C-alpha cells in the first residue's frame, strides 16, 4: 500500500488548495486538491509533509498537526493510506511561490462547491469542516 501525506492548509480560516497540472498521467489532473505527496521509504510522515509543502510552495511550515489516517481506493482498486495534517499558514501566505500545479488559492468553505475537487478530497474537507464547527 502506498503512503501519502496531505495537508489542510489554512489562511485566515480559509482552505488553501492547489490547482493540479493538467497532465493526463497524473492523478486528478486539472482539479483543485490538497498539497502533499508520497511518503518516501523510511521517511517520517510529518517530515514528508513538511518537505512537500516546502517543495510545492517554497515556505517552511513550523507547526503542523496530525489529524487522522484514511484510506482511499483508486479506480484501479489500489488502496492508498493518506496521513492528513493541518497547518495555519496565514503568516506565510504572501511569501509563498508556487512550484507545482497551475495555481494556489484560498477559499471559504462555501466556495468549495463551485470547484472541481476530487470526491475523496471533498470528503476530507467536509470532515474537517464538521470537526471545526463542533
Predicted confidence (pLDDT) per residue in 26-44, tens digit: 888 899 999 999 999 999 9
**In this predicted structure, what is the pLDDT of residue 114?**
95
Residue 6 lies in a domain: yes
Task: Write out the three cell numbers for 85.
Answer: 495534517
CA distance 91 to 80: 32
Residue 59 lies in a domain: yes
**In this predicted structure, what is the pLDDT of residue 76?**
83
Which domain, by its residues, includes 15?
2-129
Residue 68 lies in a domain: yes
Number of domains in the chain: 1
Residue 42 lies in a domain: yes
Residue 29 lies in a domain: yes
The residue with cell 497551475 is 102
- Of the listed ranges 21-25, 33-37, 64-68, the one predicted with least confidence: 21-25
**In this predicted structure, what is the pLDDT of residue 36?**
95
At 10, which CATH number?
A: 3.90.79.10
CA distance 3 to 40: 8
**In this predicted structure, what is the pLDDT of residue 26?**
84
Mean pLDDT of the chain: 94
Residue 71 lies in a domain: yes
Residue 134 lies in a domain: no
Question: Percent of the chain, pLDDT > 90?
Answer: 81
Predicted confidence (pLDDT) per residue in 83-102, tens digit: 999 999 999 999 999 999 99
Residue 17 lies in a domain: yes
CA distance 41 to 45: 10
Q: Pick 73 or 44 by higher pLDDT.
A: 44
* pLDDT level of residue 46 (50, 70, 90 thresholds): very high
Amino acid at each position: 500500500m502506498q503512503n501519502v501525506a496531505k495537508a489542510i492548509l489554512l489562511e485566515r480560516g480559509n482552505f488553501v488548495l492547489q490547482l493540479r497540472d493538467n497532465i493526463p498521467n497524473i492523478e486528478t489532473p486539472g482539479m483543485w486538491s490538497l498539497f502533499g505527496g508520497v511518503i518516501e521509504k523510511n521517511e517520517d510522515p510529518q517530515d514528508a509533509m513538511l518537505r512537500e509543502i516546502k517543495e510545492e510552495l517554497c515556505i517552511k511550515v513550523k507547526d503542523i498537526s496530525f489529524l487522522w489516517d484514511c484510506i482511499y481506493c483508486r479506480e484501479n482498486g489500489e488502496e492508498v493510506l493518506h496521513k492528513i495534517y493541518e497547518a495555519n499558514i496565514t503568516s506565510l501566505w504572501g511569501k509563498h511561490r508556487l512550484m507545482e500545479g497551475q495555481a494556489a488559492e484560498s477559499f471559504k468553505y462555501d466556495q468549495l462547491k463551485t470547484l472541481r475537487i476530487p470526491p475523496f478530497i471533498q470528503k476530507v474537507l467536509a470532515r474537517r469542516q464538521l470537526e471545526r464547527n463542533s
